[in-house]
Amino acid sequence: MYQISLEQPGDGAEIETLLDQSFGPDRRQRAAYGLRQDVPALGELCFVLRGARLLCASIRYWPVMIAGRQPALLLGPLAVGQAWRGRSLGKALIRHSLGRARLLGHGAVLLIGDADYYRPFGFSTELTGGLALPSPVEPGRFQGCELVPGALAGLSGPVEPARCGQAVEA
Ligand SMILES: CC(C)(COP(=O)(O)OP(=O)(O)OC[C@H]1O[C@@H](n2cnc3c(N)ncnc32)[C@H](O)[C@@H]1OP(=O)(O)O)[C@@H](O)C(=O)NCCC(=O)NCCS
């Protein structure tokens, strides 16, 4: 039996281990980390998934700002422990957190990731065509999803860190 719950301060060390194992020790060099540096994650959208008390998976979100005026969410990192992959746990965390983000009134979500994995949730590279990340990423990986129809329509400009997050204290 798996349970999704909000990330708690005591989960931090286990999540760091999971992220190191999932993305490698140089994960902080990735483009998305440039948008997370010195900005706390949005605690109300960071979830862990546990089975038999073991931490199996984690998803976090960060606040970003598009073109200096349009707030959005940055989804990720999402990681599922090696032993639990292929059981739809990643999809469950995405579905759960996007539902929560919608309820909280967020309009748009951005991410850098595998398009095939995120397409079923409404993510598309077409919605990010006018947006520029602080550092380049492989083509086809920068995607957006509108939680409110039209939230990304016609937007162009840089995506930058936003400093309105509420920290999950370690
Ligand atoms: C990617 C990841 C989160 C998937 O988690 P998961 O719980 O194993 O995935 P799910 O069980 O929810 O989904 C499995 C499905 O997604 C597909 N899938 C898994 N990883 C994928 C990927 N990187 N790209 C495209 N499809 C992928 C599987 O083929 C499977 O397809 P099916 O349902 O048609 O059989 C997990 O493999 C992981 O943590 N990887 C390392 C970190 C990472 O890459 N995170 C995502 C950043 S974009």
CATH of the domain at 59: 3.40.630.30
Q: What is the mean pLDDT of the chain?
A: 94
Q: Does residue 167 surpass a pLDDT of 70?
A: no
Q: Is there a domain that residue 154 lies in?
A: yes
38 lines ligand 1 (CB under 6 A): no
Banded model confidence at residue 9, pLDDT cuts 50, 70, 90: very high
CA angle 38, 43, 48 (to 5 degrees): 115
What is the per-residue pLDDT for 25? Answer: 85
Cis peptide before 120 (omega within 30 of 0): no
For the chain, the domain total comes to 1
Assign residue 82 a region: left if phi > 0, alpha if psi is -120 to 50, beta otherwise? Answer: alpha
Q: Is there a domain that residue 168 lies in?
A: no
What is the C-alpha separation between 111 and 48, in angstroms, rounded? Answer: 19
Q: Whose CA is nearest to atom 26 of ligand 1?
A: 117
116 lines ligand 1 (CB under 6 A): yes
Asked if 1 contacts 128 with a C-beta cutoff of 8 angstroms, the reply is: no
Q: Is there a domain that residue 51 lies in?
A: yes
Q: Is there a domain that residue 167 lies in?
A: no
Q: Look up residue 1 and give its DSSP letter.
A: -
Q: Whose CA is nearest to atom 48 of ligand 1?
A: 113
Over residues 106-133, the mean pLDDT reads: 97
Q: Is there a domain that residue 110 lies in?
A: yes
Over residues 32-36, the mean pLDDT reads: 92
Q: Does residue 166 surpass a pLDDT of 80?
A: no
Residues 6+ apart with CB under 8 A from 116: none
pTM: 0.94
Structural domain for 156, as ranges: 2-161
What is the C-alpha separation between 86 and 104, in angstroms, rounded? Answer: 29
Q: Does residue 164 surpass a pLDDT of 90?
A: no
87 lines ligand 1 (CB under 6 A): yes
Beta bridge partners of 66: 70, 159
Q: Is there a domain that residue 128 lies in?
A: yes
Q: Is there a domain that residue 123 lies in?
A: yes
Residue 155, Cβ density class (10 Å: 0-12 exposed, 13-18 middle, ≥19 buried): buried
Instruction: Give pLDDT tens digits for 121-144.
Output: 999 999 999 999 999 999 999 999
Q: Does residue 45 surpass a pLDDT of 90?
A: yes
